[in-house]
Amino acid sequence: MEQLGNSYWLGYGLIIWFSREWNQDLKIHVEVGPLDYPNRLTLLEALCEQGISFRPSGMLQGKKYTKIYTASTSVSDWTDSTCVERAMTSLVMSSTFKEFETTVLNVLAVLYPQPDSLPSNN
């Protein structure tokens, strides 16, 4: 994955974060950030081919941020860190998120193969 410097989430073009919503739900967001357009378009096209949906405008040149996943859950008591942690865990351990995560990791492995995972020429 292209490194962006420290200006965007530790320098990488994908970010996952949580937010507290107006209705007191906890929401998880996954976003593609400001990669160079050719790399960004390649990544978004590959994600789309694998069934990851997002707004079509996310593929336009000049667009910097594209949300590729969101989900939410209720939090019964925001003052109880155990309740908040349980809600966060439920979002990242859900079958929907796990399927999404596997798809994204597979796309990244194809687009950005690691040297130790390349086939050998024996």
What are phi and psi for residue 34, nearest 5 degrees? -80, 70
Specify whether the CB–CB gap between 83 and 76 falls below 8 A: yes
What pLDDT is stored for residue 13 in this prediction? 83
DSSP secondary structure string, 19-74? EE-TTSEEEEEEEE----HHHHHHHHHHHHHTT----GGGGSTT---EEEEEEEEE
Is residue 95 pLDDT above 90, yes or no?
yes
* Strand ranges across the sheet with 25-32: 14-20, 25-32, 66-74
CB atoms within 10 A of CB 56: 10
Q: Rounded CA gap, 12 and 54, in Å?
A: 20
CB atoms within 10 A of CB 52: 17
Average of per-residue pLDDT values in the chain? 88
As a whole-number percent, the residues of the chain with pLDDT over 70 amount to 86
With bands split at pLDDT 50, 70 and 90, how would you rate the model's confidence at 17? very high
